[in-house]
Amino acid sequence: MKKVCGLDVHKDNIVCAIYNGNNYSQVKEFSTMTPDNYSMGEYMQLEGVEEVALEST
């Protein structure tokens, strides 16, 4: 089963949750600033995320 990630984007933060087909990870919150965007990408890579869904507004 693929690991997937859902992102909920707000003005000042991005909420990130990873699902592995059975369980959700702890929800993590990142700021919308560039360094935190890189941190979020690294976090998803380390967790083995293969697909990302982004909330559409």
Give whole-number Cα distances, 14 to 1, 6, 22, in Å.
Answer: 25, 10, 23
- As a whole number, mean pLDDT of residues 5-31 equals 94
> Residue 25's Cα: distance from chain center in Å?
10
28: CATH: 3.30.420.40
Q: How many folded domains does the chain comprise?
A: 1
Q: Give the confidence band of 55 by pLDDT, cuts at 50, 70, 90.
A: confident
- Report the alpha-carbon angle 37-38-44, nearest 5: 90
For residue range 19-38, list pLDDT tens digits in order.
998 999 899 999 999 999 99
Structural domain for 21, as ranges: 3-54
Q: Give the confidence band of 44 by pLDDT, cuts at 50, 70, 90.
A: very high
Q: State the pTM of this model.
A: 0.87
Residue 1 has pLDDT above 90, yes or no: no
